[in-house]
Amino acid sequence: MNSVSKPIRKKDAMQLVTGKPVYTDDLAPENCLIVKLLRSPHANAMIEHIDVSKALLVPGVEAIYTYLDIPKGSRRFTCAGQTYPEPSPYDRLLLDKHVRFVGDPVAILAGTDEKALQRAMKLIKVEYKVLPAVLDFRTAKDNPVLVHPEADWESLCPVGADNRRNLCAHDECGSGDIEGVLASSDIVIDRVYHTKACQQTMMEPFATFCTIDAYGRLNVVSSTQIVFHCRRIIANALGIPKTMIRVSKPRIGGGFGAKQTSVSEIYPAFVTWKTKKPSKIVFTREETQTASSPRHEMELHVRLGATKEGIVRAIDLYTLSNTGAYGEHGPTTVGLSGHKSIPLYGKAEAFRFVTDVVYTNVMSAGAYRGYGATQGLFAVESAVNELAEKLGIDPFVLREKNIVKEGDVMPAYYGETLTSCALDRCLQKVKEMIGWEQKGQVRSVGENRVRCLGMGMAMQGSGISGVDVGGATLRLGEEGIYLLSIAAADMGTGCDTTLAQIAAEVLDCSPDRISVFGADTDASPYDSGSYASSTAFVTGKATEKCALKLREKIETLGASLLGAERKDVTFDGEKVSYQDNFVTLSEIAAASMAGRGTLEVTECHTSPNSPPPFMVGACELEVDLETGEVEVVEFDAAVDCGTPLNPNLVRVQAEGGILQGIGMALYENIEYSEEGVARHNSLMQYKIPTRMDVGRIRVAIESSYEPQGPFGAKSVGEVVINTPLPAIADALSKAVGVRFTELPILPEQIALKKRFFRE
């Protein structure tokens, strides 16, 4: 292959490294109204009275909106970027009389400068009727305090939601006789695990600007992964037709799923629609930390039955997920906690997977890389590591006995058949990389200092089967240059480049000859957006199909110009040849412009399956048992993403994902006060890993070939975050002698557990 699998530079790389103004706030018009939100200081309250008259007198203030400005009878909506009808309940209004978490918007302010708005914010008089709040998600279900008592709450899909029970979703599934198999198992591991609502912490905060265009339409430019869903969400929020809205995205300063929810767009959209003036909102880091779309906090109860030889016979998982004040991505994230952990164990005779997703009075959760699989894999992989310990079997050996294999039908993975898998090779590779057999799982390296090793496996999906739609338009321009138009969102991931590599491979040209445009709801073909690990696999396949069709058209037109049949000509990327004659691509393009049929193709793709990528990861830690200080000496991983479309980008995605996973395992903590105030409201409190925190991260690519993917590719973006959690937890359990079941594992917990264990 000439383009696919080549480690070429990203198309936008040089613009990014030279600091060009390509992000939302760089591009906003200078005369924009600034939009700010007054936010609720209470976790659960009714606005009894709100008076903005004094605030409106502040010079520079253009407009202030409250729930009184939202038309009565407005339909509720969701900000989750999902295909219609969204599984997430319609439980939001743009502004509501009922505020449901500390940070819920109370008023939208717009003005010419920030200082005026700060002053005005203080002059808004709000009287609240403060209500009791549900802050512990373990008490939310059937709690007398309802987060959404309103009659106009709606659930569009049968996800088991019931707002009268604080239930955002409920589901049960399984196969085989779970209780029977557990009862007859030689050993049962029974544990409860807990993970917190980590923040994506992309470097660019949420940002949107809006203008009214020459046709009177609302033009939204936003840092979003989901231009088309965003357009629908704004239409719902404003009660205007989608045809009146255009959404486009410039470069995005990181997403990781945060921007799969319309966190910021609806507010400036409302201001610009009302005032007909340009406006922008740029969230502060505090807002990005406290009023956004973090990972769902989950409690996972695993019961795992096995033979004494270490064959996993049954997995019973109950997941309780905390969606917070609104249900964004609530019903769907929870599903991955079981469907993308249980299927790793191919020999299991039975499984059961029961889920509850509950409303509470904290900020709404959303989509974060891994999307529930991360939490589920932490629990299941930790249980398997404990099983290995109890049986005295090496964790790698135990995995080798159990893993799912190519050709296996996976009952817990929607009954899909596994069509590509290099999990066995990933295990072998990582075992060698980390020096597992030589080092052993724990060794002393000084007084009270130990080195410890741990490992874990992971899988994810490649798009949502039968739901995600990828789209690509390819056009041959008159100079013989192609334009590839997409609505998948390159958020640093490099899909503009990898999709061009796919098209270039089919069209026998350099990726430099493919200009990429996107994403824009007016000009791009429909695509559900970049999430659920869909872009490489789903949009990639659409691009491949599109390029094949365009190639066919080029050959047909070339043949006709040469007076030949398509079957008799050849196309080498530069010219179509028939015997000794040829026409160049530019000549073919010129002919197409002159009425010989356009050389433009649009293709969409949706896949009935979601082939899982796999990963194995292992860590070596050094632990000071007195202080609990942990040093990550090394993290080694091997990933099977089918064919790596661009090995450089695969590698960096993997390295970045691993460090995020390490952050979730060791540092990143979300805590609320007893009043529901988020404590981790800045990067001072919320500690993401720095380059001082990790010795080294090494990634190996163990390719498989996925027959349904473009040139054999599967996804890579999400699977990479999952393995550090169980690996680190197991290594620390080995060091201390006590199982760790809650993340993050902080130094004080390690030191305390060690002391406790000793006594």
Partner 1 sequence: MTVTIFLNGNKITEDVSPDETLLSFVRSHGCKSVKCGCETTNCGLCTVFLEDTPVLSCALLAVRADQKKVTTLEGLPKEAEEFGSFLADQGAEQCGFCNPGLIMNAIALFRENPHPSDEEIKRYLAGNLCRCSGYEGQMRAIKEFVRWRDSNEQRQ
Instruction: List residues near partner 1 by CB under 8 A.
Output: 7, 9-10, 12-23, 26, 200-205, 251-256, 282, 284-286, 491-494, 646, 648-649, 651-652, 655-660, 682-684, 688, 690-692, 694, 696-697
Closest separation in Å from C-beta 9 to partner 1: 5
CA 654 to CA 657: how far, in whole Å? 5
And the tokens for 8?
């070429």
Closest separation in Å from C-beta 720 to partner 1: 9
SS3 state at 475:
strand
Closest separation in Å from C-beta 342 to partner 1: 28
Closest separation in Å from C-beta 724 to partner 1: 11
Closest separation in Å from C-beta 252 to partner 1: 6
CA 541 to CA 706: how far, in whole Å? 12
Closest separation in Å from C-beta 263 to partner 1: 17
Beta carbon nearer to partner 1, 304 or 658:
658
Element (H, E) at 450: strand 449-459
H runs (alpha helix) in 242-391: 266-275, 285-290, 330-339, 373-391
CA 404 to CA 577: how far, in whole Å? 49
Beta carbon nearer to partner 1, 36 or 76:
36
And the tokens for 58?
């502040």
Beta carbon nearer to partner 1, 87 or 656:
656
Beta carbon nearer to partner 1, 651 or 753:
651
Beta carbon nearer to partner 1, 458 or 658:
658
Closest separation in Å from C-beta 459 to partner 1: 21
And the tokens for 542?
């659409």
Beta carbon nearer to partner 1, 255 or 327:
255
Measured CA distances, 271 to 30, 65, 70, 79, 108 (Å): 16, 9, 12, 17, 8
Measured CA distances, 710 to 508, 540, 555, 645, 738 (Å): 15, 6, 22, 9, 46
CA 133 to CA 135: how far, in whole Å? 6
* Residue 328 Cα to chain centre, angstroms: 13
Name all contacts of 677-684 with Cβ < 8 Å and 24+ positions apart.
677/102, 678/102, 678/103, 678/289, 678/290, 678/362, 678/363, 680/199, 680/289, 681/286, 681/289, 681/290, 682/285, 682/286, 682/289, 683/201, 683/285, 683/289
Closest separation in Å from C-beta 658 to partner 1: 6
HEC string of 414-437 equals CCEECCCCCHHHHHHHHHHHHCHH
Q: What does DSSP assign to residue 612?
A: P
Beta carbon nearer to partner 1, 655 or 742:
655
Beta carbon nearer to partner 1, 195 or 201:
201
Beta carbon nearer to partner 1, 40 or 493:
493
Beta carbon nearer to partner 1, 247 or 688:
688
Beta carbon nearer to partner 1, 62 or 204:
204
Provide the 10 A C-beta neighbour count for residue 318.
18
Beta carbon nearer to partner 1, 253 or 454:
253
Query: Radius of gyration (Cα) for the chain, nearest Å?
Result: 27
Sheet of 581-584, strand order: 570-571, 575-578, 581-584
Beta carbon nearer to partner 1, 193 or 635:
635
Phi, psi values for residue 264, rounded to 5°: -110, -20
CA 354 to CA 342: how far, in whole Å? 12
Contact at 8 Å (CB) between 88 and 78? Answer: yes
Beta carbon nearer to partner 1, 490 or 527:
490
And the tokens for 274?
């009302």
Q: What one-letter code names the amino acid at 541?
A: K
Q: What one-letter code names the amino acid at 57?
A: L
Closest separation in Å from C-beta 23 to partner 1: 7
Closest separation in Å from C-beta 26 to partner 1: 4
Closest separation in Å from C-beta 445 to partner 1: 19
Closest separation in Å from C-beta 268 to partner 1: 18
Q: To the nearest 5 percent, what fractions of the chain are helix, strand and coil?
A: 30, 25, 45
Closest separation in Å from C-beta 600 to partner 1: 31
Beta carbon nearer to partner 1, 117 or 344:
117
Q: 553: number of CA atoms within 13 Å, CB side?
A: 19
Beta carbon nearer to partner 1, 412 or 720:
720
Closest separation in Å from C-beta 30 to partner 1: 9
CA-closest candidate to residue 713, choices 511, 531, 540, 545: 540
Beta carbon nearer to partner 1, 411 or 492:
492
Closest separation in Å from C-beta 515 to partner 1: 18
Closest separation in Å from C-beta 662 to partner 1: 9
Q: What one-letter code names the amino acid at 141?
A: K
Closest separation in Å from C-beta 576 to partner 1: 35
Provide the 10 A C-beta neighbour count for residue 587.
16
SS3 state at 726:
helix
CA 426 to CA 457: how far, in whole Å? 9
Measured CA distances, 476 to 471, 515, 573, 583 (Å): 17, 10, 12, 15
CA 37 to CA 47: how far, in whole Å? 15
**Cα angle 731, 736, 316; round to 5:** 60
Closest separation in Å from C-beta 175 to partner 1: 38
Beta carbon nearer to partner 1, 605 or 651:
651
Beta carbons within 8 Å of 95's beta carbon, 6+ residues apart: 65, 66, 67, 69, 70, 105, 106, 107, 108
